[in-house]
């Protein structure tokens, strides 16, 4: 998929629009499988929250992947995509026992991350095997907002509370068939990650009925030229060897599981927006686009970097622009970024727009959420229509105040 393909999509489907390259998704999936090829049994659960369009879920089903879900609704999306419930894991945080029970009824693997729900669920459903999410107290992620394995994290059961877990398991007679951790996103130092896995192996050895160990994910992808990323091949080599050794000491082969999201879809995504206005102030040249943090909030929420190219004028002279949106608050995508010369009407392409971009979009300012397009087998396929005013009004009840009696 090249600039001309993207421009054609913008012309056909309008802007703003999200575009995903299926070839990149497939390549990333195959790269991950290849990196851990020496592990005896491998299972990849795609993290639905990264990009939840049902066509994307069907693509991962076609590749043989399972799903990692965090809500009843994500589970239902996965089932609607035709994914076997046995290949879906449910790893929520802070949800009610009722929601967990509804998911369990669908035959999905349950993953519990707190002692209270573990005891309640085990008491009521001792015959339903569960996975337990452990907090290893290791901060492997690079950004504090997306690192979830540190000691003050709300996620997981502390490793210091393992005796409590064992007591609950014994008292309820429940079965623990998996242990899990997720230390956070943007992992750079695989040594730190491997240290966390040793804690997980030590924990796993305490449970006799395991079917799998889920190592989470958080593998970093590059966002700009020269950017560093997780050395997935080195990690795969070292962790596969250690995992096989664990299986030997455990007495039988179990499954190695991961739940990547960003790693699989981030680089596949392009967000296309049209320039509404080029505005010169005393010190800055603004390029104002027909979008805002209602469509792409990551730069404002996390300080995330997204490369920006003017695909309407790729060979133009570079100038410095601050790219901003049309929301009635500060919504700056880039400050003083070198981009080929921009004129009003040009189409800008934002890179790394596959993960946590559309899935975090909103209707703020009553703006429509954009369309989504999948580039598959050399052609553009619309996988979500652009919203309309009908979508904005759906579910709203318009009161007739003239007929209401004011008491």
d(CA 235, CA 256): 13
241 is in an annotated binding site: no
- Contact assessment for residue 182 and residue 163, using Cβ atoms and an 8 Å cutoff: no
- Contact assessment for residue 168 and residue 122, using Cβ atoms and an 8 Å cutoff: yes
Spatial neighbors of 58 by CB under 8 A, at least 6 apart, are 81, 82
Catalytic residues: 328
Residue 262, both tokens: 């960003």
Spatial neighbors of 76 by CB under 8 A, at least 6 apart, are none
20 is in an annotated binding site: no
292 is in an annotated binding site: no
d(CA 23, CA 356): 19
d(CA 379, CA 216): 33
Spatial neighbors of 377 by CB under 8 A, at least 6 apart, are 22
Q: Kindly give the interhelix angle for 72-80 and 54-63, rounded to the nearest 10 degrees.
A: 60
Residue matched to tokens 């799998």: 212
Residue 375, both tokens: 């580039």
Buried b / exposed e across 101-121, counting CB within 10 Å, b at 16+?
ebbbeeebbbbbbbbebbbbb
218 is in an annotated binding site: yes
288 forms bridges with which residues in the sheet? 277, 324
Report which of 70, 65, 27 is spatially closest to residue 43, judged by C-alpha positions.
65
250 is in an annotated binding site: no
Enumerate the known binding-site residues for pyridoxal 5'-phosphate: 218, 356
The annotation places the binding site for substrate at: 298, 302, 329, 356
Residue list, annotated binding site: 218, 298, 302, 329, 356
């Amino acid at each position: 998929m090249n600039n001309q393909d993207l421009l054609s999509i913008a012309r056909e489907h309008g802007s703003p629009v999200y575009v995903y390259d299926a070839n990149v998704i497939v390549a990333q999936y195959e790269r991950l499988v290849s990196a851990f090829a020496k592990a005896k049994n491998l299972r990849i659960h795609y993290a639905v929250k990264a990009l939840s369009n049902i066509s994307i879920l069907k693509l991962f089903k076609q590749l043989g992947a399972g799903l990692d879900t965090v809500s009843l609704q994500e589970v239902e999306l996965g089932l609607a995509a035709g994914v076997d419930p046995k290949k879906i894991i449910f790893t929520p945080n802070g949800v009610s026992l009722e929601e967990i029970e509804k998911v369990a009824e669908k035959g999905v693997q349950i993953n519990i991350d707190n002692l209270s729900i573990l005891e309640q669920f085990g008491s009521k459903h001792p015959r339903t095997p569960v996975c337990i999410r452990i907090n290893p107290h290791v901060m492997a992620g690079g950004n504090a907002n997306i690192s979830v394995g540190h000691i003050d994290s709300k996620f997981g059961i502390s490793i210091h509370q393992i005796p409590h877990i064992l007591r609950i398991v014994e008292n309820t007679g429940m079965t623990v068939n998996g242990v899990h951790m997720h230390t956070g996103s943007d992992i750079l130092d695989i040594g730190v990650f491997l240290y966390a896995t040793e804690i997980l192996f030590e924990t796993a050895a305490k449970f006799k009925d395991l079917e799998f160990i889920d190592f989470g994910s958080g593998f970093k992808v590059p966002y700009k030229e020269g950017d560093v990323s997780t050395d997935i091949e080195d990690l795969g080599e070292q962790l596969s060897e250690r995992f096989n050794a664990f299986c030997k000491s455990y007495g039988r082969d179990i499954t190695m599981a991961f739940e990547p999201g960003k790693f699989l879809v981030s680089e596949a995504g392009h967000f296309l927006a049209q320039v509404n206005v080029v505005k010169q102030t005393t010190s800055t040249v603004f390029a104002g686009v027909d979008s805002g943090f209602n469509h792409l909030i990551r730069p404002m929420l996390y300080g995330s970097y997204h490369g920006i190219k003017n695909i309407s004028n790729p060979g133009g002279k570079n100038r410095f622009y601050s790219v901003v949106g049309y929301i009635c608050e500060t919504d700056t995508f880039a400050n003083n970024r070198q981009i080929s010369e921009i004129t009003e009407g040009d189409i800008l392409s934002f890179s790394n727009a596959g993960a946590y971009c559309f899935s975090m979009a909103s209707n703020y300012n009553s703006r429509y959420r954009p369309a989504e397009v999948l580039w598959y087998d050399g052609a553009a396929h619309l996988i979500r229509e652009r919203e309309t005013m009908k979508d904005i009004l759906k579910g709203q009840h318009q009161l007739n105040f003239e007929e209401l009696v004011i008491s």
